[in-house]
């Protein structure tokens, strides 16, 4: 006796960051708010030679948050509601921060019960410090609950397996 599991579900995405220039490339268009992604895709399910691959050009409209002088990196392509979305990373130079004169600070702490806590404060000219908002925290309770559920399920499956082995031995 045995039980079958359903086929695993995989994310519908294409991670291009591991590709080299022979498989994918990205470059800015003449308009700094656009880029052109070129990807080499197979023309048949079982490509056997270089002739079974074809370059496909995908124009990308960049959001206004991407600076015009930023270096674009190959994105991750994913399907979202019947459209292909590109999760695009970029690198750009930022000015070096001064060592003094800052008026806003971010404090971050980690611990056992609250995995990560953070809060921001502002320093005013009169020396008064005020909190910016209520802060934020990340609790791992959901992750721990899933871990406990998986442990219980694993114990249940081991018990089932032991029962099946006892039945087969008889």
Q: Tell which residue, 11, 12, 41, has the closest CA to residue 24.
A: 41
Strands 104-109 and 116-123: antiparallel
pLDDT value of residue 112: 66
Q: Report DSSP letters for 110-157, one per residue.
A: --SSSSEEEEEEEE-TTS-EEEEEEEEEE--HHHHHHHHHHHHHHHHH
Burial class (CB in 10 A: 0-12, 13-18, 19+), 85: middle
Edge-to-edge strands, sheet with 104-109? 104-109, 116-123, 129-138
pLDDT value of residue 49: 92
What average pLDDT values come out for the chain (170 residues) when binned by 10 residues?
Answer: 72 79 91 93 89 93 92 90 88 87 89 80 92 83 80 90 89
pLDDT value of residue 130: 93
Which stretch of DSSP H or E encloses residue 87?
Answer: strand 83-87
């Amino acid at each position: 006796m045995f039980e079958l599991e359903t086929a695993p579900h995989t994310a519908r995405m294409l991670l291009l960051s591991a590709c080299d220039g022979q498989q994918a490339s990205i470059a800015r268009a003449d308009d700094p708010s656009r880029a052109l992604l070129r990807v080499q895709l197979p023309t048949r399910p079982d490509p056997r030679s270089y002739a079974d691959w074809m370059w496909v050009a995908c124009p990308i409209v960049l959001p206004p948050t991407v600076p015009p002088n930023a270096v674009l990196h190959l994105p991750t392509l994913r399907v979202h509601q019947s459209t292909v979305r590109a999760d695009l990373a970029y690198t750009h130079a930022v000015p070096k921060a001064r060592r003094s004169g800052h008026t806003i600070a971010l404090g971050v702490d980690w611990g056992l019960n609250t995995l990560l806590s953070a809060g921001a404060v502002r320093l005013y000219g009169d020396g008064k410090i005020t909190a910016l908002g209520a802060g934020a925290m990340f609790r791992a309770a959901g992750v721990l609950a899933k871990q406990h559920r998986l442990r219980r399920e694993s114990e249940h499956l081991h018990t089932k397996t032991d029962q099946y082995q006892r039945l087969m031995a008889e």
